[in-house]
Amino acid sequence: MADDLLIGVIIDIMLYILYSNQSKRGIFMGERKRDKILGIRTVGMREWAFNKVHYNRYEATPYKALDKLAEDYMFRDVDRIVDFGCGRGRVVFYLHNRFQLPVVGIEANHQTYEEAIENKAVYSLKAKHITAPIEFKYGLAQHYKIDKRDNCFYFFNPFSVHIFRKVVYNILRSVEKDNRTVDLILYYPTHEYKDFLETTPFTIINKIKVPRAIDKKDRFIIYRLNETAWEE
Ligand SMILES: C[S@@+](CC[C@H](N)C(=O)[O-])C[C@H]1O[C@@H](n2cnc3c(N)ncnc32)[C@H](O)[C@@H]1O
């Protein structure tokens, strides 16, 4: 456990040095400024200390991608959004601030979860006028009990398809019990996630490209399961 912590700290220091050098070249300046407006700190990465093959590292969705998603997707129809693998909470705070939506973030890395909680403390002072709740839960996405209010689920490649499958089956079970329309938002979607979703009743309703993206994967795919799907 002590070794685990030490390796985690060493990796953090190395990433800090790497990113502070990069930020000198201006790569993260814009992202830091956007964080500052919200009163949060979400820039950077965190690898898992030990080889956690099913769990991916922390890295936030870029603000320019979130801006495009917010323009093109109807967040106004969402009752509550869940970010599976929320990291330090950038998506959670952004959507709460922009749409005043109830939001839930689930994070399995304890240190990252603590940072999300610290962000919440500062953000909440800035966003006192927004009454919609923000919840962070420390734990595994696959153990999260889907609530009947949850109808929009966000994934930025948090884990392997093996875990994604479990989470999607949890969503399907919840929808079967409490019939409603639900959406999955995938950022930077992998082939594995897309191939798996083809075997489910979800269908693609939109694809949103991030402006000036060089990488083809730098986009969102939105999947929907309509409440009428169960009537057939
Ligand atoms: C690529 S980051 C995305 C962060 C955030 N959703 C965003 O878009 O800004 C993926 C996050 O998922 C977390 N994660 C990995 N496996 C997880 C699991 N099984 N349950 C919950 N969180 C997990 C990682 O620790 C990491 O913070």
- The answer on pLDDT for 175 being more than 80 is yes
Cα 232 to ligand 1 centre (Å):
35
Any ligand 1 atom below 6 A from CB of 164:
no
Any ligand 1 atom below 6 A from CB of 159:
yes
Ligand 1 atom 10: the closest Cα is on which residue? 158
Distance, in Å, from the CA atom of 171 to the CA atom of 208, rounded to the nearest integer, reads 23
Instruction: Give the model's pLDDT for residue 23.
Output: 47
Q: Which of 64, 90, 94, 73 lies closest to 210, judged by CA?
A: 64
Any ligand 1 atom below 6 A from CB of 85:
yes
Q: Are 57 and 45 in contact (CB under 8 A)?
A: yes
For residue 186, count other CB atoms closer than 10 A to its CB: 22
Among 26-30, 142-146, 208-212, whose mean pLDDT is lowest? 26-30
For residue 134, count other CB atoms closer than 10 A to its CB: 22
Cα 34 to ligand 1 centre (Å):
20
Instruction: Give the model's pLDDT for residue 228.
Output: 85
Distance, in Å, from the CA atom of 79 to the CA atom of 29, rounded to the nearest integer, reads 33
Please write the tens of the pLDDT for every residue from 115-173: 999 999 999 999 999 999 999 999 999 999 999 999 999 999 999 999 999 999 999 99
- Averaged pLDDT, 217-231: 91
Distance, in Å, from the CA atom of 160 to the CA atom of 170, rounded to the nearest integer, reads 16
For residue 36, what are its two tokens?
């500052």
Please write the tens of the pLDDT for every residue from 55-80: 999 999 999 999 999 999 999 999 99
- Averaged pLDDT, 86-92: 98
Domains of the chain: 51-231 (3.40.50.150)
